[in-house]
């Protein structure tokens, strides 16, 4: 393995990088706005900035995509990476880039190289963030930093267990430890990068306390390595009081466990589950997400589009999604109020659940070993994981309001008070769209997963709702 300031790299990747002094000089260029600058400005304004997801294989196509989305007003633009690069299959990515770039499901930054990365950053006035999903993002991070990209998503839990079948947690956590250590070195050199943590996990009925516990553990690990700016992402579940409470908990938990000297920004991923099929209702859900983000104090919102149910959106739909999310977060809806007592109750219990999950782990001497042991014993877990290193015994359900509760918490170390509260919510409300009493667990979970399709049907009575095959753009 070759090295870049302690970051262990594929020798071929390392050999192509510029000198460290060149990297620092490029990152320090005051003419270029960084992701941290955007987050600070959004925080000061009290309105979340909006960021779309986007990524294609070809360089000119990626450049055109970024420039096509910029007029819609995003604060940050995404460079979503292809699956081969995520899995460090750099040779495969290079070959596809040469022979069939349209077959790549994202931008292969390592194959393109840092010079092209700089070209993308210089093509638009807003900063870029790399979004990927790799359990080992060291090589990609090195190229991203050399390219001048100032925000990098991922972590050893959130970019492993939802995506990979058999990557040991210790391996991914130690790989990300090196990424965070280099971020710490950059911070000491006067360059603060944004490190975004992917609390969305599997994006299927994720209880707020699980999302926040995973990102909090990753955040503690990152801060110990010197990271000074963290964006903590939470997935919109759909019940506004619970989502607002979860976003506000990002700040309170950071204050409790991370201490001073670290910038922490809550981020809302707009609903990532099964999306409505009609443009009208889909657009309503996008606006709803923007409103939720503002009421929860989020600094950034990742938007969705009205074409979400049918595949990868085109540029026009993505631009419209940016504007719809921004409208939801705008002053036009300042008159909207929520039940603050209910939000406060949800916040109290979310904070308590997170504490019960993370404090036994944080009490140990070795954080990485403690996380590994907790997952092995089921004391940490996530639902619907692809990984053999998670038990996936947690069974979430929606209550009658649409909020996500624990129908079965597996071996999570919750107190009796926490378990009784969830049982009461589910027993008294019987779950969202419960209907007949006799329902199998699979049928009930399926109804909860398709929650917004049912809300769409109720909101648009008499409308002939399209199916996926009705849309020629469908990729599924």
- The verdict on residue 147 lying in a domain is yes
- Tell me the per-residue pLDDT of 278-290, one tens digit each, with 9 for 90 and over: 999 999 999 999 9
- The verdict on residue 467 lying in a domain is no
The residue-averaged pLDDT of 351-372 equals 98
* Structure confidence at residue 440 (pLDDT): 77
- The verdict on residue 313 lying in a domain is yes
- The verdict on residue 98 lying in a domain is yes
- Global pTM reads 0.95
User: Which CATH number goes with the domain that contains 69?
Assistant: 3.20.20.240
Enzyme catalytic residues: 86, 153
Cα–Cα distance, 4 to 339 (Å, whole number): 51
Q: Per the structure block, which two tokens stand in for 317?
A: 């739909």
* Structure confidence at residue 437 (pLDDT): 44
- The verdict on residue 243 lying in a domain is yes
Domain range enclosing 107? 2-333
- Tell me the per-residue pLDDT of 128-150, one tens digit each, with 9 for 90 and over: 999 999 999 999 999 999 999 99
Total domains, the chain:
1
- The verdict on residue 302 lying in a domain is yes
DSSP state of 71: G
- Tell me the per-residue pLDDT of 404-414, one tens digit each, with 9 for 90 and over: 999 999 999 99
DSSP assignment of 178-199: HHHHHHHHHHHTT-PPEEEEET
Cα–Cα distance, 105 to 174 (Å, whole number): 27
Map residue 383 onto helix, strand or coil. Answer: coil
* Structure confidence at residue 443 (pLDDT): 86
Q: Per the structure block, which two tokens stand in for 308?
A: 């979400």
- The verdict on residue 196 lying in a domain is yes
Are 197 and 233 in contact, with CB atoms under 8 Å apart? Answer: yes
């Amino acid at each position: 393995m070759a090295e870049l300031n302690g970051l262990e790299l594929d020798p071929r990747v390392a050999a192509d990088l510029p000198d460290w002094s060149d990297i620092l000089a490029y990152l320090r260029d005051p003419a270029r706005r960084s992701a941290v600058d955007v987050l600070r400005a959004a925080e000061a304004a009290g309105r979340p900035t909006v960021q779309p997801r986007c990524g294609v294989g070809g360089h000119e196509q990626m450049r055109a995509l970024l420039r096509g989305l910029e007029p819609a007003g995003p604060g940050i633009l995404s460079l979503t990476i292809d699956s081969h690069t995520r899995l460090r299959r750099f040779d495969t990515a290079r070959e596809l880039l040469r022979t069939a770039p349209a077959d790549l499901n994202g931008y292969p930054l390592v194959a393109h190289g840092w010079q092209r990365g700089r070209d993308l950053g210089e093509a638009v006035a807003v900063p870029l963030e790399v979004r990927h999903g790799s359990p080992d993002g060291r090589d990609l991070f090195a190229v991203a930093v050399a390219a001048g990209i100032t925000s990098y998503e991922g972590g050893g839990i959130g970019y492993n267990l939802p995506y990979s079948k058999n990557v040991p947690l210790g391996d991914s956590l130690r790989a990300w430890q090196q990424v965070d250590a280099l971020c710490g070195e950059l911070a000491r050199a006067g360059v603060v990068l944004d490190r975004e943590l992917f609390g969305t996990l599997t994006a299927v009925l994720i209880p707020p306390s699980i999302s926040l516990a995973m990102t909090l553990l990753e955040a503690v690990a990152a801060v110990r390595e010197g990271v000074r700016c963290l964006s903590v992402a939470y997935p919109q579940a759909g019940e506004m009081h619970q989502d607002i409470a979860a976003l506000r908990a990002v700040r309170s938990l950071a204050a409790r466990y991370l201490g001073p000297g670290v910038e922490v920004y809550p981020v809302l991923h707009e609903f990532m589950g099964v999306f409505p099929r009609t443009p009208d209702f889909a657009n309503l859900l996008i606006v709803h997400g923007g409103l939720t983000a503002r009421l929860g104090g989020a600094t950034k919102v990742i938007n969705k589009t009205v074409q979400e149910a049918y595949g990868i959106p085109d540029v026009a739909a993505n631009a419209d999604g940016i504007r719809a999310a921004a409208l939801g977060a705008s002053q036009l809806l300042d008159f909207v109020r929520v039940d603050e007592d209910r939000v406060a109750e949800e916040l109290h219990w979310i904070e308590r659940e997170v504490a019960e999950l993370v404090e036994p782990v944080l009490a140990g001497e070795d954080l990485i070993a403690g996380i590994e042991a907790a997952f092995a014993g089921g004391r940490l877990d996530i639902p619907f994981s692809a990984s053999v290193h998670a038990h996936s015994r947690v069974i979430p359900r929606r209550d009658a309001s649409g909020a996500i509760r624990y129908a079965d918490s597996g071996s999570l170390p919750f107190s009796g008070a926490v378990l009784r509260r969830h049982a009461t919510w589910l027993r008294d409300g019987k779950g969202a769209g419960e209907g007949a009493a006799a329902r199998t667990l699979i049928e009930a979970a399926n109804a909860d997963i398709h929650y917004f399709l049912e809300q769409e049907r109720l909101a648009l009575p008499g409308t002939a709702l399209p199916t996926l095959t009705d849309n020629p753009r469908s990729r599924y």
